[in-house]
Amino acid sequence: MDKKQKETTKKKDIGIILDFPGKKKTTDKKYVRSDKKSFFGIKANGNVFIGSLVIILSLIIATVVVGKPIEGWFANTQKWMSNNFGWFFIMAINFFLIFALIIGGGKFGKLRIGGENAESDFSTTAWFAMLFSAGMGIGLLFYSVAEPIMHFGGTPFNDGADKIAAAKTAMGVTFLHWGLHAWAVYAIVGLALAYFTFNKKLPLTIRSIFYPVLGEKIYGRWGDLIDIISVSATMFGLATSLGVGVQQANAGLAYVFGVDFSNEWQIGLIVFITFLATMSLVLGLDKGIRRLSEWNVRLAMALLIFVLLAGPTLFILKSFGQNIGFYLSNLLSMSTFTESYKGISEASHWQSGWTITYWAWWISWSPFVGIFIARISKGRTIREFVLGVLLVPTVVTFLWMTVFGGSALHQELMGNHDISEAVNENVATAIYHLLENFPFTKAACILTILLVGSFFVTSSDSGSMVVDMLTSGGKLDSPVGQKVFWASTEGAVTIVLLVGGGLTALQTATLLTALPFAVVILIMCYNLYKVLNHDYNKIEYLKKRERQKKLTAKIVSDVEDRLED
**pLDDT per residue over 469-487, tens digit each?**
888 877 766 677 777 888 8
Select the more confidently predicted residue: 86 or 509. Answer: 86
Q: How many residues does this entry show for the chain?
A: 565
Rounded to two decimals, the pTM is: 0.84
CA atoms of 129 and 291, how far apart (whole Å): 9
Which long-range contacts link 474-480 to residues 24+ away (Cβ below 8 Å)?
Answer: 474/34, 474/35, 474/197, 474/202, 474/203, 474/204, 474/205, 474/207, 474/208, 475/35, 475/43, 475/203, 476/204, 476/375, 477/284, 478/43, 478/44, 479/42, 479/43, 480/282
CA atoms of 353 and 350, how far apart (whole Å): 5
- Indicate if the pLDDT at residue 3 is higher than 50: no
Q: Which pLDDT tens digit goes with each residue over 274-313?
A: 888 777 777 765 565 667 767 777 888 899 999 999 999 9
Query: In this predicted structure, what is the pLDDT of residue 429?
Result: 86
CA atoms of 299 and 33, how far apart (whole Å): 42
**Quick one: pLDDT band at residue 428, thresholds 50, 70, 90?**
confident
Query: In this predicted structure, what is the pLDDT of residue 351?
Result: 84
**If DSSP codes are grouped into helix, strand and coil, which group holds residue 39?**
strand
- For residue 149, give the H/E element and its range: helix 138-152
Query: In this predicted structure, what is the pLDDT of residue 334?
Result: 94
Query: In this predicted structure, what is the pLDDT of residue 21?
Result: 64
Select the more confidently predicted residue: 152 or 131. Answer: 152
Q: Which pLDDT tens digit goes with each residue over 308-326?
A: 999 999 999 999 999 999 9
- Indicate if the pLDDT at residue 65 is higher than 90: no
Query: What whole-number percentage of the chain has pLDDT above 90?
Result: 28
Task: Give the residue-averaged pLDDT of 374-384.
Answer: 90
- Indicate if the pLDDT at residue 160 is higher than 80: no
For 269, other C-beta atoms within 10 Å of its C-beta total 20
Residue 290's Cα: distance from chain center in Å? 17
Q: Which pLDDT tens digit goes with each residue over 232-277?
A: 888 877 777 777 778 888 888 888 888 888 888 988 988 888 888 7
Q: Which pLDDT tens digit goes with each residue over 505-552?
A: 666 777 777 888 899 999 999 999 999 999 988 888 888 888 888 888
- Indicate if the pLDDT at residue 177 is higher than 90: yes
Task: Give the residue-averaged pLDDT of 380-390.
Answer: 92
Query: In this predicted structure, what is the pLDDT of residue 287?
Result: 60
Measured CA to CA in angstroms, residue 129 lies from 299, 300, 519 at distances of 12, 11, 30
- C-beta separation of 490 from 463 below 8 A: yes
DSSP code of 561?
A: H
Query: In this predicted structure, what is the pLDDT of residue 18?
Result: 46
